[in-house]
Chain A
Amino acid sequence: MPKGNIINRDRFLENIRAKIGGIASDKPVEKPTWSVTPQRNVLEGYDQDQLITVLKDQCDNIHTDFFQTNVNELSATIESIMNQYQSKTVVYSEDKRFEETNISDFLAQLDSFKWDRLDRESSIKFAERAEIGITFSDITLAESGTVVLLNDKGQGRSVSLLPANYIAIIPKSTIVKRMTQATDYIHQKVENDENIASCINFITGPSNSADIEMNLVVGVHGPIRAAYIVVDDI
């Protein structure tokens, strides 16, 4: 993609510089060493199984159904959730893990659609009519009960957004303590001059709002129900 335009920058930054007494310089600003780093102490020393317990408990706070299973039972678990949510039509992301776990075979038998990175119209249209969206989690944050989706290429932003129900499949190995570990990972990519996904979603349960008298309503623009499935051995 060609470089974008930058308009009015010099005058704008010159004004700021004059106010804060800075000087224009090509030298990068060094970040100070912060005096405290409490984010690094959260859940310190927890192993993967303890983190799963934290994640499970947090699911109660975020109105999310929690399941734990193994690869062999994964399709059956998805099927039972779909029954519970009375969902028949499925949209799922383009993600080789669907093939690796053979869920793609199971989904192929249903009224399903794999997100098509080259077909905007059909993909959005199907996602809009699908009753359930399924994605894998790329990084999972135990503390907050958050699945992080690095949405680029075939992953599709709409898969986890437009359908009324949403399932996130969480490989056990993706579980980390908190957002700190996810942002460390992303920061490292930036440091290494690698591309990061154009849309990184930190999703914590179904959508909700408290705009009416501070009463929590679950399900506003995004999904109304959400389920997490932790898979033991991928």
Chain B
Amino acid sequence: MKVSFFITCLGDMFYVNAGKAAVELLERLGCEVDFPRAQTCCGQPAYNSGYRKETIEVAKHLIETFEHAEYVVGISGSCVYMIHEYTQLFEEGSDWQKRAIALKDKTYELTQFIVDVIGVDDVGASYQGVATYHTSCHMTRLLGVKEAPFRLLQNVKGLELVDLPNRHDCCGFGGTFSIKMSDISEQMVDEKVAHIEGTKAHLLLGADGSCLMNIGGRLSRNGSPVEVKHIAEILNSRGDV
């Protein structure tokens, strides 16, 4: 299978290790991975702020960038969902909408791709430790990927996965929300961090870099020992158990 990898803008700059792990993992599972270098951002910051015209331009750029791909696999549920939303941006039946639908139909979030397309539940990973998993809102509710990350994590040898209380609650990121409504966002991330620390896990996992950046930033500020990793890093881990 040929996979065109979608790193996302945050991933490109801040979560290089997650990207590396995802690429290695996909290759290990037999995929041929390429990286279309023209890719930028999915446009979500503009879209969620109501700047539709600007979003459309960014969307067109990404559609063109990935048009040649057999599959597009991204490492952020939220950004992948944004690509799926492109179909709403263009006029019904227009050429651009057709191209957006074509892109939507071949674009997946990493864990979704592994479980639903490759058809693998056990990627042969091993990692010694106690972790909890943050279910990100857009990936779970809007993209509808609920089970895949858990199915993959349950098969990681040595990993003890503990339930995160109130896992359905948003971490308070919300893109520009975290800046515009920073006082409310702070309360939300504080609550999330309290739940994470209450689990006694020493590792927080997630499939969305932006949520992890938010929660990780608060954990770091609190001087918490809880480590934060993208799920790809654990799924690509082959440590001794």
Do the two chains touch directly in the complex (Cβ atoms below 8 Å apart)? Answer: no
